[in-house]
Amino acid sequence: MSARDWEKRVLAAKGAEERVAEIEQELLLSNRLTALREGAGLSQRDLAKRLGVSQPRVAAIERSHNVTIEVLEQ
């Protein structure tokens, strides 16, 4: 099976379009958060201190892994 055939098969699965849209939104959000941090002249370490989380947590957020509303509200 070619990669293109596999992609078509996966995207044909029920709910695939919605999940792809969710992933796109997560990636856009993480890119915006990174841009905001960089625009403010903050390192990940600086932001982590302000948020009361670890630097690896900020890195995970910026990679769109497990972003929570609670952290975003901080």
pLDDT digits (tens, 9 = 90+) for 34-46: 999 999 999 999 9
pLDDT in tens, 12-55: 888 888 888 888 888 888 889 899 999 999 999 999 999 899 99
Q: Please give the span between the terminal C-alpha atoms of the chain, in angstroms, as a whole number.
A: 46
Exposed / middle / buried, residue 30 (Cβ in 10 Å: 0-12, 13-18, 19+): middle
Catalogue all structural domains in the chain, each as residue range(s) with its CATH number.
Answer: 3-73 (1.10.260)
Report the predicted TM-score, pTM, of the whole model to 2 decimal places: 0.65
